[in-house]
Structure 1
Amino acid sequence: MGRIRTRLAEPPFARAEGRIAVRQMIELRTQIVSLYALLSVNACALAFTHLGLTPPWLTLACPAVFVALCAARALHWWRLKPETLTEAQARRRLRLTTVLAIALSVGFVAWSIALGAHGGPYEQGHAAIFIAITVIGCIFCLTHLPVAAFGVTLVVTGAFLIHCLTSGNGVFVAIGLNTTFVTVVMVRILANNYRAFIELTQSQFEAQRLAEENARQALTDSLTGLPNRRAFFQQLEALASADGRAPFALAIFDLDRFKPINDSYGHNAGDHVLRETGQRLAAFAGAEVAVARLGGDEFGALIRRPADGAEVTAFSTRICEALRAPIWLGETPVVTGCSAGLALYPDAGRRAAELFDRADYALYHSKLNQRGRTTLFSQEHESAIRTERAIEAALHGPYLVHEIEVHYQPILDAGTNRVVMVEGLARWTHFTLGRIAPDRFVAAAERCGAIHRLTTLLLRKALADAARLPPEIGLSFNLSSHDLTSSETVVAILGIVRESGFDPRRLTLELTETALMRDFERAREAITLLQALGIRIALDDFGSGYSSLSYVHRLPLDKVKIDRSFMADLSSRQGERIVATILELCRNLDLSCIVEGVETADQLAILRRLGCRYVQGYLIGRPMRMTSLLERLGETGTGPDGGRAQRLSA
């Protein structure tokens, strides 16, 4: 009994699973229509050969009923759309088909045997052929429903074999046995074919499952479980190109303080922060809101059918507030902060890329001017973008070399009261755009890939001017955050310095914390290469970032420039202590220290009392052209002292 149950559980006899059942229905649709056509034609042919030899109900009524039933079922299957059926519906229809097939087989075999009892040997032979063809046709046409095929075969072949064996006619006995043998062989072939069909279908399902899983993984961020950048842009493209073009909003969120948290607590803590942020953002997702992680600490959202800009701005502000809530790292709470940029379709743009750029610009505006808030892209921003594009075009234009120049601000040795260095500062006056702020055109150069050209052009100009300085006065030159991570720019800087003939030991290159954060290892390699030529390295704006002290410890620096922001509170006891602490740190690390932003005589006096050696600011002198600087230096002799410092000021 155990072997029988096992055999019945094998594919040809097992109940069709839902997904297999639908596939069976699809395969059966055309085959069963052909089967009913075959049965109808054969039944009519058999009835025709027995006309006048049997009662009319056998040759007219019965065939009419059979043909009507076959036509009705064939029409039903022809209209059927199996791919629209559910799993349960497919299984129910397969069971119904099996029952009807067996019922029709009983009727057809009984009718054909009844006809065989009339007429001569030809008519009886025709009846036998009809039964054999019926079995073969059923086996072939019901291949994908083996339970029905086996049921029909068992009914028809069994009844026909019994009829032949009990006929007493040797020919009919031979025909019955021969038909049974052929049927058994064909049933075995059917079983093998169906088993192959099941295996093929299952392998296709598995391949489809794996493909869907791969597609899902390709569109999912592995850390947060949110849709990734690719999925986000697919949805954005679909919304921007959809029929009807319903309005929607694109929001980009950026964590303001993720970088220092990641640096201070480690990458595992950073991953925890991102996962928690993803969970909080996912709570806002719904039928009208899709969220995603765009990369790093940047997230995005698509808001369908917003009422107006005020509503979607308020919604984005609520998201920012949720993301600003403290995240616990063990027993330590950290606050990342969050800024957002918004762009509305179609007001801010009609193409996906254009819309994303507008939202990104609004985010940039938030982080620059109102960190922690949401900025909605407006016409004012559109005008700013046009100006930025004009600046970018001018950076690649032929007139840049004539329009841009270097001004120089003196740096004073407070101990000897002599100017010992000048800092080169870029100034650009465009013939149509007018004067452009350095932070603006440097940022534009970094965005549009013109920073290499800008840096090398300014360095050549600065070194040419510095050659006119007295040999005891050095030159300080600022590098962009992109320069240190570009091997091409570093090699070019070395080549320019060598070609200029300017003593590399008189040259100081100033780096910001941002430059070091881009790629610390490459920055350290570049610093080592520059110092090998004799160039000095200074960390600019010390104290304004999160990791300045870490870089002082980890890098072979020569100088530190204290950020001008510390001068605002220098007159207070607390402010004086902070500056004194930084000065003491530099002395302990054997680093030269330059204080920026000195604007009053009182500030200079305090710094001298604290033992500060080098100072820079408007009190010492404003940035000016080299010719003006040389004239002022000639007028003041060795350097500014009290009234002299005023005279050196512009």
Structure 2
Amino acid sequence: MPSQFAFYKSRVDPVRQQALATAYCPIVRGFLLPGMIYYSYITLTHFRDETGLELAILASICFTTVVSYYVMRQHVLASDKLSLQRLELIGLAANLLIYLNVVCYLTIHFEQNKLIYFALMAVVFSTTGITFRGTLLSVGLALVTLYFFASRLPHEILTQYVSIGIATTFASLGMAALLRKAIRRQIDARLLADGLAAKAQRLADTDMLTGVPNRRAVFEKIDYLISQKRPFWIGIFDLDGFKAINDVYGHVIGDDLLCGVVERSANLNLPGVTFGRIGGDEFICIISGSHTAQGIKQFGAKVIEAVSRPYPVGPMELTIGVSAGFTHYPSMATSGAQLYEQGDFALYKAKATRRGQCVLFDTAEDEEMQATIAIERQLREADLESELYLLFQPQYSPCEQRIVGFEALARWKNPTLGLVAPDQFIRAAERSGHIRKVTAILFEKALRILADWPDDISLSFNLSAHDISDHSFILKLLGKIMKSGISPSRIEFEITETAVMTDLAASRSLLEKLRASGCKIALDDFGSGYSSFEYLDQLPLDKVKIDRSFIRKVAHSTTSREIVAAVIGLCRKLDLRCVLEGVETQVEMDFLTELRPDLIQGYLYGKPMPADAVMQRIMEQDQTSTEARNALSA
């Protein structure tokens, strides 16, 4: 912008205006200090040299100048937020006091040689004027007054003073322009640097895709709130089904979906709530203030409901879900790292229980998390190769009246933790990323044991959600089968509904690879989820295992018996084998026999047993079959 518009720019730009005021304030304060000292001395000389009315006028105007300069310097200019307009008025007032001192003295004691004071005054005004407008006014007043007093002198002397005035005008205004240009350049450079630094800070604190605070900014705010001892909640949200959409429709659609999630969350207009993005499809929010657990649950439900509505994308409507975990400061944790760990654990519980849920971290979760942390530590440090082992539970065929296979059940005995419950260490392994290592170790052991069994005995082996989401890991499993020399038809992989919920398309693709190799696929815990029949249609299945929650009720619930009968009938129509899990008593078996299930698994036909007991059981079964055949032939 041209220099002649500099004042206009400062007037319309509040930031630059304040920067100019900050830069000029030390100059004005520096000018007032010698002014106070000078006029204090002049006041004393007036008491020495003047009497009567002259003394009263000159001494009072000098003393007023000293007091005014002191008040301006020590009080008015001590403020950090002084505006440019106010600073300009203070500068004009300081100049006016100098002007009045000179005018009063020359009016009482006119001395030709002291007219030079007006020229000196103009030079001083050029350096202390805050704006060019104020400088022009002050310098002009001084030089016009010089001409007024010089006009009573002879013409040749007046001409000299006019020349002095003209030279002083150019010198003063030139000095003023150069000084202000230098100051403004410095200010503009600093403002540009500050602007770039602020922009860099915004970029460092903002998620580039969605525009919300990023992980760094969110955790800085968490640390700030903790330092201020202010109570707050944090919530961690994870999108369910986003990865599948992102893989199928591409990153452009995926990015639009993430922006839509942020927009819907922002449109809730919830006071005291800050949303941020941690990364990928994971978001975080900070809820400042005191809120009840019930209020937080309602808040979480609002977010889940808003985010879970369909998103129109061209002619399609895409739907994702969201799960949430919340924790509270200071009742549950006292550091940002602990809060995040607790919120993440609550989120994991929400996703493990059922997608689209909101879980609040409490003392029960804290005990479970501490146990999980201890398990995760041992998973990292333990010799899993020697500590992990398998037990096998028989699968009995009522039609053949013999055991036709076994399900491999993972067990872990750790020197520090002792015997760890399977559901605990499997969940911990999934959460910590050790599950594939666990699966690989157990699968190799299962293959070595299976190699010793008769060819007509099959093995069922469980895969987790992490296992069937990794293409390279599935290929490694197939490689292990080929290396073992065991027929893939003897191996059955069991999956659960929750294992395929995150990315159904990718899971189906990998399961098809397993099935194409000759392995069989079984859907475990059928009926425990909320969309089971969809998986019967979309997944490449060979077998369905009805959840034990139905089996336990068949003895006293007609409804449960009808449900089990309906599922068995459906499996027959779909050419799927059906396994009844959890059959523990003969009473239950009596009710189930008439339904003609394909396989029975439960304590009635055998508890989980070690590998050597399996061989013993198989040998006893073969011996019994041989004796039966001999009896028939006899």
In which range does the TM-score fall when normalised by the shorter chain? 0.7 to 0.9
Q: What is the aligned counterpart of 1:132 among 110, 119, 132?
A: 119
Describe how 1:273-352 pairs up with structure 2 within 5 A.
Answer: 275-276=263-264, 279-280=267-268, 282-283=269-270, 285-286=271-272, 290-292=273-275, 296=281, 300-302=285-287, 304=289, 312-320=292-300, 341-343=326-328, 345=330, 348-352=332-336
CA distances 1:387-442 after superposition (whole Å, capped 9, x unpaired):
33332333334454344311223445666566544321112344564432212111
Contact 1:250 1:343 in 2 (8 A): yes
CA–CA distance in structure 1, aligned partners of residues 436 and 457 of structure 2: 27
CA 1:303–1:52 in 2, change beyond 3 Å: closer, same or farther? closer
Secondary structure of the residue aligned to 1:11 is helix
CA–CA distance in structure 2, aligned partners of residues 322 and 524 of structure 1: 32
Q: Does 1:10 align with 2:13?
A: no
Q: Does 1:76 align with 2:75?
A: no
Output the amino acid matched with 1:623: P
In structure 2, the partner of 1:22 is: 18
CA distances 1:613-634 after superposition (whole Å, capped 9, x unpaired):
5664555544322222222223
Q: What is the aligned counterpart of 1:444 among 424, 428, 443?
A: 428
CA–CA distance in structure 2, aligned partners of residues 171 and 408 of structure 1: 123
Output the amino acid matched with 1:30: P
CA–CA distance in structure 1, aligned partners of residues 496 and 610 of structure 2: 24
In structure 1, the partner of 2:632 is: none
Shift in Å, 1:462: 0.7
Q: What is the aligned counterpart of 2:565 among 560, 570, 576?
A: 576
Contact 2:342 2:361 in 1 (8 A): no
In structure 2, the partner of 1:250 is: 233
CA 1:104–1:617 in 2, change beyond 3 Å: closer, same or farther? same
In structure 2, the partner of 1:240 is: 226
Output the amino acid matched with 1:252: G
CA–CA distance in structure 1, aligned partners of residues 264 and 346 of structure 2: 25
CA 1:261–1:132 in 2, change beyond 3 Å: closer, same or farther? same
In structure 2, the partner of 1:635 is: 620
Contact 1:474 1:506 in 2 (8 A): yes
CA 1:508–1:170 in 2, change beyond 3 Å: closer, same or farther? farther
In structure 2, the partner of 1:149 is: 135
Moved more, 297-306 or 172-181: 297-306
Aligned length: 603
In structure 1, the partner of 2:372 is: 388
CA distances 1:159-192 after superposition (whole Å, capped 9, x unpaired):
3245556633546524532442353254245346
Contact 2:393 2:406 in 1 (8 A): yes
Q: What is the aligned counterpart of 1:468 among 452, 459, 473?
A: 452
Secondary structure of the residue aligned to 2:467 is coil
Secondary structure of the residue aligned to 1:460 is helix
Shift in Å, 1:157: 1.9
Output the amino acid matched with 1:460: E
Contact 1:567 1:603 in 2 (8 A): no
CA–CA distance in structure 1, aligned partners of residues 77 and 471 of structure 2: 64
Contact 2:65 2:97 in 1 (8 A): no
CA 1:113–1:547 in 2, change beyond 3 Å: closer, same or farther? farther
Contact 1:258 1:336 in 2 (8 A): yes
Q: What is the aligned counterpart of 2:341 among 354, 357, 364?
A: 357
Shift in Å, 1:353: 1.7
In structure 2, the partner of 1:62 is: 58
CA–CA distance in structure 1, aligned partners of residues 612 and 222 of structure 2: 56
CA distances 1:215-264 after superposition (whole Å, capped 9, x unpaired):
5676567999876654443333234334xx56x35353668988899999
CA distances 1:3-56 after superposition (whole Å, capped 9, x unpaired):
xxxx99933478845544433432332222333455567779999999999999
Q: What is the aligned counterpart of 2:547 among 547, 564, 572?
A: 564
In structure 1, the partner of 2:83 is: 90
In structure 2, the partner of 1:121 is: none
Indicate the RMSD between aligned Cα atoms, in angstroms. 5.2
In structure 2, the partner of 1:3 is: none
Q: What is the aligned counterpart of 1:177 among 158, 163, 176?
A: 163
Contact 1:340 1:363 in 2 (8 A): yes
CA 1:515–1:27 in 2, change beyond 3 Å: closer, same or farther? same
Secondary structure of the residue aligned to 1:637 is helix
Shift in Å, 1:501: 3.7
In structure 2, the partner of 1:309 is: none
Shift in Å, 1:138: 1.4
CA–CA distance in structure 2, aligned partners of residues 432 and 33 of structure 1: 73
CA 1:426–1:36 in 2, change beyond 3 Å: closer, same or farther? closer
Describe how 1:551-630 pairs up with structure 2 within 5 A.
Answer: 557=540, 559-564=542-547, 567-568=550-551, 572-573=561-562, 576-585=565-574, 587=575, 592-597=576-581, 599=583, 600-601=588-589, 605=593, 608=596, 616-618=601-603, 621-630=606-615
Q: Does 1:33 align with 2:34?
A: no
Q: Which runs of 5+ in 2 are unaligned?
A: 629-634
Contact 1:26 1:82 in 2 (8 A): no
Contact 2:43 2:62 in 1 (8 A): no
Moved more, 442-451 or 361-370: 361-370
CA–CA distance in structure 1, aligned partners of residues 526 and 611 of structure 2: 27
Contact 2:376 2:432 in 1 (8 A): yes
Contact 1:564 1:595 in 2 (8 A): no
CA–CA distance in structure 1, aligned partners of residues 305 and 218 of structure 2: 25
In structure 2, the partner of 1:107 is: 100
Contact 2:276 2:285 in 1 (8 A): yes
Contact 1:251 1:359 in 2 (8 A): yes
CA–CA distance in structure 1, aligned partners of residues 368 and 466 of structure 2: 23
CA 1:372–1:501 in 2, change beyond 3 Å: closer, same or farther? closer
CA distances 1:550-605 after superposition (whole Å, capped 9, x unpaired):
666666x35343442584478544553345335434x3xxxx54434162435654
- Identity among equivalent pairs (%): 22
Secondary structure of the residue aligned to 2:581 is coil
In structure 2, the partner of 1:646 is: none
Shift in Å, 1:471: 2.0
CA–CA distance in structure 2, aligned partners of residues 298 and 366 of structure 1: 15
Describe how 1:197-208 pairs up with structure 2 within 5 A.
Answer: 197=183, 201=187
Q: Which runs of 5+ in 1 are unaligned?
A: 1-6, 119-123, 307-311, 644-650
Secondary structure of the residue aligned to 1:10 is helix
